[in-house]
Amino acid sequence: MKNIISKIGNVLLVVVLVLVLLISAVMLISSFSPTGANIFGFHPMVVMSESMEDTILVGDMIIVQEVDTATVQVEDVITFFGNIDGEGEREIITHRVVEIVPQADGSVVYHTKGDNNDLVDQDPMNIFYQEPIKPADVIGTWTGIRIPNYKDMILYFVVIPVAIIFVWQLIVVIRMAMKVHQEKQLDMVQAEKDRVIAEYLAEQKAKEEAEAKAQADNPAADTADPPSEE
C-alpha cells in the first residue's frame, strides 16, 4: 500500500512540476514578446486597461486566438495594435468591434469600442478610436477564456506548487535521513551483539584450551587412585 501511495505521489509531483515549468515558460516568453507567447496560434495576454470592464478586468489574463480577419464580425472582441489618440507609440489593445467599414479598394477597416460605459461618459476619446483598425493590425480575437487576476494565477500555479514540491522533497529527505539513521543504529546494535558474542566465544575457547593444556601437563592427576580410609 505504501508503495502505491508513493508512486501516486511521485506521479502527481511530476505533473505539478511540468505544469509549473510550462506556465513559467509562457510567462517568460510573454515578457519578451509584444504579442505574448504564441502557443499553436493562441496568445495569453494580461489586460492592463479598464476599457473592457466589466467584461474583462485589469489584471486578467485572456487567451487570444489568431484568426482569418475575413471572419471577424461586429460584436467580436479583437486584440490589435493601435493607440488612443492616433499619436505616440502603438500598443496592444483589446476592444469590441462596433462597425466594419468597406473600403474602395475592397478591403475593410474596423471601428472598435471598449465595454466600460463609465469611461465613455468621462472621456469618449479614451474609448472610441478615431483611427480605424486595419486587418493587418489585428492579432486575433478573444476566445472568451479569462483567468481572473494574473497575480493570483502566479500565486496559485507557480508559487504554491513550487512550495508544495519543496515541502514534499524536504519530507522525502527527512524520511530518508531518518531511515539511514535507524539503519546505522541497527548496525551499531548488531555490531555490539557480534562483539559480545565473539568475546564470549573467545573466552570459552581460551578456557577450554587452558584446561586442555593443564591436563596435558599433568596427566597423572586424572589417573591417580584416591586415598583409602582405615
Do the beta carbons of residue 52 and residue 115 sit within 8 Å?
yes
33 vs 81: CA distance, rounded Å: 13
**In this structure, is residue 227 part of a structural domain?**
no
167 vs 57: CA distance, rounded Å: 34
CATH of the domain at 76: 2.10.109.10
pLDDT at 178: 87
The structural domain count of the chain equals 1
**In this structure, is residue 21 part of a structural domain?**
no
**In this structure, is residue 135 part of a structural domain?**
yes
**In this structure, is residue 16 part of a structural domain?**
no
**DSSP secondary structure of 168-202:** HHHHHHHHHHHHHHHHHHHHHHHHHHHHHHHHHHH
pLDDT at 68: 93
Write out the residue range of the structural domain in which residue 130 sits: 37-148
Place of cell 467584461: 55
**In this structure, is residue 128 part of a structural domain?**
yes
Cell numbers representing residue 106 in the block: 475592397
pLDDT at 140: 94
139 vs 61: CA distance, rounded Å: 16
pLDDT at 123: 57
**In this structure, is residue 134 part of a structural domain?**
yes
Q: What angle do CA 96, 101, 102 make, to 5 degrees?
A: 140
pLDDT at 214: 78
**In this structure, is residue 112 part of a structural domain?**
yes
Question: How would you write the pLDDT of the chain (230 residues) with one tens digit per residue?
Answer: 656 766 666 676 677 667 666 666 666 555 555 666 677 888 888 888 888 888 999 888 889 999 999 999 999 999 998 876 556 677 888 999 999 999 999 899 998 888 886 655 555 555 555 578 999 999 999 999 988 876 666 666 667 777 777 787 788 788 888 888 888 888 888 888 888 888 888 888 888 877 777 787 776 655 555 555 55
160 vs 158: CA distance, rounded Å: 6
**In this structure, is residue 137 part of a structural domain?**
yes
